[in-house]
């Protein structure tokens, strides 16, 4: 007998359509003058090639127009400080006059924080009739956003520019522009087909790890607010961190210098007391996250006598190794603050030393080599790492008493010969990385029996398969080193060694196989580009994590199928899980660096949500994003839809269960069950709205709620209604969005029949 009376169909749908936004006024950019809040921000046309106060011709009754002589790909760019929602606007229109010539070749595009969010379009194509920019008269150019797929995200700038680089000397005849306006939306965002999604609450049921919600270098206060579970101390500089004196090496990132992490009075005590690593651990623990600490294994550490102020010790001192030239990716040959600290690059015309050796004949690039590592560093072994673990125990308690439990064996070890070539110029081999890893893992666990250790910490795709020693000889996937180790991919062989070399008592030296993975498609990772093309590429690239049929849309996709190896199809997690099952069952999987777009990309936020869902479904045991999103950025929404979807602490938790989308490139679907709720995450990866027709394998009788975000709207409740049965249709999920359907097992809106 039940005292609950379920209420069904009594609640109306909230926010009936996210596609048709509330009316906004026209957004005028230029009318007689630039209109607030727009300014001339970043125009790169020559100053004499344009005027914003031209008096003739002028459209209508205004006193001014814009005169523009297009040459050398020059452009006009008008920028506002606030951002506006593309979904609120239907089109961009402006008046254009060809002067006495007409026919000018111009192009226009919309942008956000100076990044184009649509493909530039010919201005002539925007004028009805196809006659191009007219002479001696005005024409209206209209850029329709629906046709261009500009239906999602934010914008704050517009560009009109030269489209004919062949007129560099004379320039094109002057054109005139007036009345630049973003016009409010008058019709709904276009809708695509209905996508069927099946949810199987009783199929593929498995718990997912809360440690997938980790970051690197989070802020303690924000960690606690967001609910991040792991905070990683990692990156290139941690390979050469001396905990005793609190100094790291910048290595190739910045002039190979030893730089103190913290100096008085901002740090308390003399290192190692109060060092930056201790401060990081304390902050992580106070914010509720488990610190993941990188223990260097390269065998060198910054010298104890490293200066704490300029000038710093540097591996390629100009005074010792001669004149240097800029890095290929930087503008300076020496550190502007320490001019004796060189880039490590040279040119035989200015440096006749035998240390100046060609390394890239195609581009004519030279390295300085054979420098003395002792200029900056001291040789150490695993006991240096062991003593650091002992220091952490003294400062923060043992793992069993709330101290550090998670340790990782260095950072991107197969890049030592590039990132840290001043100490390690030769490509690491299978044997070196395993030998050092085993020695350090053993030392860590001798000191901290409850430690969990991750390794080998790959840098990306290539070192899943072979060593830097092979890669240095020109093969990213196969080579002599791999052949000499049974032909096994590096990670498969590494796993084999983990199980073949147990520690005393039978423990494995390494508990997590640790990977870094960045999608390699153009502008996908670590990038601000949120254009339509990049958004599509970014969201499809999530399939690299799990889909054995997906050919990467990057250089990886061009590597060939190569028989059973299928190098062109990453299939990252199932591939590595299969190696785990074959070579060292029970080993956990960690992905401790990944990134699918910078903090304020809307498509990056949706990708972040989907990546977390994939980690949960595919059984990743720990993950940390590089790096923690800045507070209140779009990327945080990708975490919050799992960690605080309702703004009141609601979390997706429990088990992952099966969900299938009929079109994963339009709608991604992931399902979970926990806390007496079924959760369904739906990501719309398209530039149109989609209805989603859900079918469940068990009946639900409850009041559901829908939460979601887009690139232009924060996470909020977007709908509610009732379900009674096994089917439910959600209408018009917005373009480039993530939505979370929450269905309680027992309706949470009820009347107690006994008046209790």
pLDDT tens for 448-502 read 999 999 999 999 999 999 999 999 998 999 999 999 999 999 999 999 999 999 9
**CB under 8 Å to 469, separation ≥6 — which residues?**
426, 427, 428, 429, 479, 480, 481
For residue 130, what pLDDT band results from cuts at 50, 70 and 90?
confident
- Among the three residues 594, 615, 643, which one is the final residue of a domain in this structure? 594
**544 closest CA partner among 523, 521, 526:** 521
| 354, 372 contact by CB (below 8 A) | no
pLDDT reading at 664 higher than 90: yes
pLDDT tens for 706-739 read 999 999 999 999 999 999 999 999 999 999 999 9
Q: Token digits for 456?
A: 């080998």
pLDDT reading at 11 higher than 70: no
Could you tell me if 639 and 659 lie in one domain? yes
Res 265: pLDDT: 52
CATH number at residue 69: 2.60.120.260
**520 closest CA partner among 484, 548, 556:** 556
Res 260: pLDDT: 93
| Rounded Cα–Cα distance for residues 544 and 564 (Å) | 17
Asked, for residue 624, whether it belongs to a domain, the answer is no
- Among the three residues 594, 618, 643, which one is the final residue of a domain in this structure? 594
Could you tell me if 480 and 578 lie in one domain? yes
Could you tell me if 355 and 379 lie in one domain? no
Could you tell me if 76 and 162 lie in one domain? yes
Tell me the residue range of the domain where 337 lies. Answer: 316-370
Could you tell me if 47 and 151 lie in one domain? yes
| Rounded Cα–Cα distance for residues 429 and 469 (Å) | 5
Could you tell me if 176 and 203 lie in one domain? no
Cis peptide leading into residue 281 (ω within 30°): no
CATH number at residue 479: 3.20.20.80
Asked, for residue 684, whether it belongs to a domain, the answer is yes
For residue 599, what pLDDT band results from cuts at 50, 70 and 90?
very high
Could you tell me if 380 and 366 lie in one domain? no
Asked, for residue 76, whether it belongs to a domain, the answer is yes
Could you tell me if 253 and 150 lie in one domain? no
Asked, for residue 569, whether it belongs to a domain, the answer is yes
Res 273: pLDDT: 75
Res 61: pLDDT: 85
Asked, for residue 726, whether it belongs to a domain, the answer is yes
Asked, for residue 547, whether it belongs to a domain, the answer is no
Average pLDDT for residues 364-391, to the nearest whole number?
A: 97
Could you tell me if 427 and 465 lie in one domain? yes
Average pLDDT for residues 185-203, to the nearest whole number?
A: 96
CATH number at residue 10: 2.60.40.1180
- Among the three residues 594, 621, 650, which one is the final residue of a domain in this structure? 594
Could you tell me if 489 and 349 lie in one domain? no
Asked, for residue 295, whether it belongs to a domain, the answer is yes
pLDDT tens for 618-639 read 999 999 999 999 999 999 999 9
pLDDT reading at 246 higher than 70: yes
pLDDT reading at 258 higher than 60: yes
Helix and strand totals (H; E) in the chain: 14, 38
Domain count, the chain: 4
- State what percent of residues in the chain have pLDDT above 90: 90
Asked, for residue 628, whether it belongs to a domain, the answer is no
Could you tell me if 474 and 450 lie in one domain? yes
Could you tell me if 441 and 577 lie in one domain? yes
């Amino acid at each position: 007998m039940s005292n609950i009376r379920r209420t069904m169909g009594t609640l109306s749908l909230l926010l009936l359509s996210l596609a048709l936004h509330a009316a906004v006024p026209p957004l005028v950019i230029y009318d007689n003058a630039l209109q607030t809040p727009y300014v001339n921000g970043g125009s790169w046309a020559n100053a004499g090639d344009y005027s914003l106060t031209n008096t003739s011709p002028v459209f209508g009754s205004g006193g001014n127009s814009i005169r523009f002589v297009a040459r050398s790909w020059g452009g006009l760019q008008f920028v506002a400080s606030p951002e506006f929602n593309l979904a609120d606007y239907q089109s961009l229109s402006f008046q254009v006059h060809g002067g006495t010539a007409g026919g000018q070749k111009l192009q226009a595009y919309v942008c956000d924080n100076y990044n184009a969010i649509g493909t530039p379009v010919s201005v002539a194509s925007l004028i009805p009739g196809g006659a191009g920019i007219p002479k001696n008269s005005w024409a209206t150019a209209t850029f329709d956003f629906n046709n261009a797929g500009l239906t999602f995200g934010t914008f704050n700038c517009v560009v009109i520019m030269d489209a004919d680089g062949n007129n560099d000397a004379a320039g094109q005849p002057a054109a005139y522009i007036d009345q630049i306006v973003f016009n409010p939306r008058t019709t709904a965002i276009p809708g695509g087909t209905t996508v069927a999604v099946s949810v199987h609450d009783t199929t593929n049921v498995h718990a997912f790890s809360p440690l997938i919600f980790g970051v690197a270098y989070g802020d303690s206060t924000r960690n606690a607010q967001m609910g991040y579970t792991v905070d990683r101390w990692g990156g290139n500089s941690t390979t050469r961190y001396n905990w005793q004196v609190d100094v790291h090496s910048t290595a190739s990132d910045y002039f190979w210098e030893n730089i103190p992490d913290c100096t008085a009075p901002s740090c308390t005590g003399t290192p190692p007391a109060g060092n930056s690593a201790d401060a990081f651990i304390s902050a992580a623990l106070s914010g509720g996250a488990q610190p993941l600490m990188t223990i260097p294994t390269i065998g060198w550490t910054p010298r104890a006598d490293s200066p704490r102020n300029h000038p710093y010790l540097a591996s390629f001192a100009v005074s010792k190794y001669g004149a240097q030239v800029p890095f290929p990716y930087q503008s300076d040959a020496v550190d502007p603050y320490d001019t004796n600290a060189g880039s490590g690059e040279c040119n035989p015309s200015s440096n006749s030393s035998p240390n100046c050796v060609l390394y890239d004949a195609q581009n004519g690039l030279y390295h300085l080599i054979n420098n003395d590592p002792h200029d900056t560093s001291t040789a150490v072994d695993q006991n240096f790492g062991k003593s650091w673990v002992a220091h952490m125990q003294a400062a923060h308690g043992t793992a069993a008493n709330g101290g550090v439990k998670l340790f990782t064996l260095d950072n991107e070890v197969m890049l030592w010969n590039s990132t840290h070539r001043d100490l390690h110029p030769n490509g690491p081999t299978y044997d070196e990385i395993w030998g050092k890893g085993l020695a350090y893992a053993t030392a860590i666990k001798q000191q901290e029996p409850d430690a969990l250790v991750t390794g080998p910490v790959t840098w990306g795709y290539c070192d899943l398969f072979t060593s830097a020693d092979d890669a240095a000889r020109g093969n990213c996937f196969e080579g002599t080193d791999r052949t000499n180790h049974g032909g096994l991919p590096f990670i498969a062989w590494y796993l084999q060694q983990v199980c073949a070399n147990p520690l005393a008592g039978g423990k494995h030296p390494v508990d997590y196989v640790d990977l870094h993975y960045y999608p390699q498609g153009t502008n996908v990772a670590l990038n601000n580009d949120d254009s339509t093309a990049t958004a599509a590429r970014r969201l499809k690239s999530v399939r690299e994590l799990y889909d054995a049929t997906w050919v990467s849309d990057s250089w990886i996709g061009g590597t060939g199928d190569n028989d059973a190896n299928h190098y062109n199809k990453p299939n990252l997690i199932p591939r590595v899980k299969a190696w785990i099952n074959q070579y060292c069952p029970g080993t956990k999987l960690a992905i401790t660096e990944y990134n699918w777009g910078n903090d304020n990309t809307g498509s990056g936020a949706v990708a972040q949500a989907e990546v977390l869902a994939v980690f949960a479904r595919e059984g990743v045991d720990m993950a940390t994003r590089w790096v923690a999103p800045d507070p209140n950025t779009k990327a945080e929404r990708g975490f919050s839809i799992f960690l605080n979807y309702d703004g009141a602490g609601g979390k997706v938790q429990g088990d992952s269960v099966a969900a299938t989308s009929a079109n994963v490139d339009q709608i991604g679907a992931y399902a979970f069950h926990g806390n007496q709720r079924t959760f369904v995450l739906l990501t719309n990866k398209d530039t149109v709205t989609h209805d989603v027709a859900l079918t469940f394998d068990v009946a639900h009788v409850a009041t559901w709620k829908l939460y979601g975000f887009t690139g232009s709207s924060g996470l909020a409740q977007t709908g509610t209604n009732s379900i009674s049965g096994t089917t439910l249709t959600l209408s018009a999920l917005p373009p480039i969005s993530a939505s979370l359907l929450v269905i309680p097992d027992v309706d949470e809106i009820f009347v107690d029949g006994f008046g209790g």
